[in-house]
Amino acid sequence: MEQVKERRPGKNVLSVVDVRKSYGAVKALDGVTFNVSAGSVVALLGPNGAGKTTMLQSILGVMDFEGTIEIDGLSVKRDGKAVRRKIGYVPQTSAFNEADTCAEVLSFLADLKGADRGRIPPLLELVNLQDQAKTRVGHLSGGMRQRLTLAAALLADPPLLLLDEPTASLDIDSRRDFFDLLQRLRGEGKTVLLSTHLLDRLGELADRVIVLNRGRVAFDETLQEMTSRVHGKRFVVHLNGTGEERFQEALRVAGIKPNDVWPAEVSWDDLLPASPDPSESSD
């Protein structure tokens, strides 16, 4: 079994200070401040329209913003080209040439980034695509494409991985495989900022979570600390056709076993204040 490196807080790879972005009267980002330290995995969470994509586009330097964003001490505004070399970016969907093979895609990108082509075989093995090295992109499943995108993001061994809803369009099995890869990268001490609206498996993956709501930081803590703020307890109960009016009696006499009752999934409505009119926020 691979030994997991001890995780110790490092210097800040990413520093975001008082970042603001407006679209007319709409405040997409409203004074966002947070840090991501070396070797940590941070999940950027929030419902659709919370400002996650705007935040990532600001970090990538492809969108104007007010405030300060630094990566490895370099300013996104002043040193945009150098900063982008320090980011491995995984979007929700890839944009590779459908006719290229996996190996050809990575070879082209390695040359473009000035990365060693010798990294390609171990990266294909890392993302479990070694048997698809000569397979054309057009023949890959959605999950395989995302694993190839992750390999491409790792080519230059950047200090920061930026993942924008990487599993949103994947089925359950592909999503599980992708999160297994992220778990492995976490064990290797990679620094990751993962944007998502999905809460599943984050407890075992993310060191902490940052929740955006209406363009502001609503929480910045561990997932366990965040979910503990939910008021009350809710459960899903299988009543096997028993009517709700007999709920209390059903728990006692209808043969409901302890393993038939489990905590319901926490929703954004539980964690965050009531959302304003949709026109008042933007993602």
Q: For residue 194, give the CATH number of its domain.
A: 3.40.50.300
Backbone angles phi, psi at 271, to 5 degrees: -85, -30
Contact 159, 89 (CB under 8 A): no
Most confident of 46-50, 69-73, 254-258: 69-73
- Residue range 215-237: mean pLDDT, rounded: 74
80 versus 247: which is more confidently predicted?
A: 80
| Statement to judge: residues 202 and 166 lie in one domain | yes
Structure-model confidence comparison of residues 6 and 16, the more confident one:
16
| 125 and 159 part of one domain | yes
Same domain, 119 and 255: no
pLDDT tens digit sequence for 200-214? 677 778 889 999 998
Asked whether residue 240 falls in the same domain as residue 151, the answer is no
What is the residue range of 243's domain?
232-265
Residues 189 and 240 in one domain: no
Q: Is 93 helix (H, G, I), strand (E, B) or coil?
A: coil
Number of structural domains in the chain: 2
In a domain, 7, yes or no: no
140-193 pLDDT, tens per residue? 999 999 999 999 999 999 999 999 988 888 888 888 888 889 888 988 889 999
Q: How confident is the model at residue 220 (pLDDT cuts 50, 70, 90)?
A: very high
Answer yes or no: are the C-beta atoms of 195 and 164 closer than 8 Å. Answer: yes
Q: What pLDDT sits at residue 2?
A: 36
**Residue 4 falls within a domain, yes or no?**
no
Is residue 36 pLDDT above 70, yes or no?
A: yes
For residue range 74-108, list pLDDT tens digits in order: 999 999 989 999 999 999 888 899 999 999 999 99
Note whether 172 and 73 are same-domain residues: yes
What percent of the chain has a predicted confidence (pLDDT) above 70?
76
Cα–Cα dist 21/98, whole Å: 36
Q: How far apart are CA 202 and CA 271, in angstroms?
A: 15
Mean pLDDT (the chain, rounded) = 83
* Residue 6 covered by a domain: no
Model pLDDT, residue 171: 86
* pLDDT confidence tier of residue 8, bands split at 50, 70 and 90: very low
Q: Are residues 169 and 133 in the same domain?
A: yes
Same domain membership, residue 66 and residue 195:
yes
DSSP-assigned states of every residue in 97-155: -TTSBHHHHHHHHHHHHT--GGGHHHHHHHTT-GGGTTSBGGGS-HHHHHHHHHHHHTT
Domain contains 250? yes
The number of residues in the chain equals 283
Q: What pLDDT does 237 receive?
A: 57
Check whether residue 273 and residue 236 sit in a common domain. no
Asked if 259 and 143 sit in the same domain, the reply is: no
C-alpha–C-alpha distance, residues 59 and 44, integer Å: 13
pLDDT higher than threshold 50 for residue 234:
yes
Does one domain contain both 114 and 194?
yes
